[in-house]
Amino acid sequence: MLCFATNNRHKLFEVGHLLGKKFKLVSLQDLNHHEELAEDFLTLEENARQKAEFIFRKYKIPCFADDTGLEVAALNGKPGVLSARYAGPQKNSDDNISLLLENLKGQSLRSAQFRTVIVLVGEDYGVQSFEGKVEGTIIDQPRGTKGFGYDPVFVPTGYNITLAEMTVEEKNSISHRAIAVHKLVRFLLEQTTRV
């Protein structure tokens, strides 16, 4: 059994889809843990580790957590670690997108990358870190209804549609989170074959 330290149902669906039936995945909701997990640090790595370690210590089951940031070149890497709270503590995606587009008004440099860091903590695993990145461009107007967060304004390099216009399968074949999860799954499978 593995815990994914999130209450974000979109993330849970995406990661569950990638893990398939190889592992029994439980969420914070399954553990009856409804409080928001702290993210007190200034890097994605530290925030992911903070969440995973907290849940592992509290429930004594292997746990992984992620933190993701949108890093925009013209904004010196912002919103970065503050991506979810870019427009305020309410963590509203529409507000975040509006502020991002406002801050990019008149900018010709629109390159950006999504970066996800996953940290796994467990008695048999120690502390392991996995990273995934996808590069792309920020467009002027949101497009698409799938996905979440900044997906409607992010067009991955080599594509002409946003992440929010892709199917789950399409997004999972290229996304930052998918890349990090694939590394996590590879690690977990290697551990189980050694037993």
- 179, 113 Cβ separation under 8 angstroms: no
> What is the rounded CA–CA span in Å between residue 129 and residue 118?
6
> What is the rounded CA–CA span in Å between residue 186 and residue 68?
20
- 89, 133 Cβ separation under 8 angstroms: no
30 is catalytic: no
Which tokens is 133 given? 């990145």
Angle between helices 9-19 and 176-194 (to 10 degrees): 50
Tell me which of 30, 40, 66, 67 is the catalytic residue. Answer: 67
Please list the active-site residues.
67
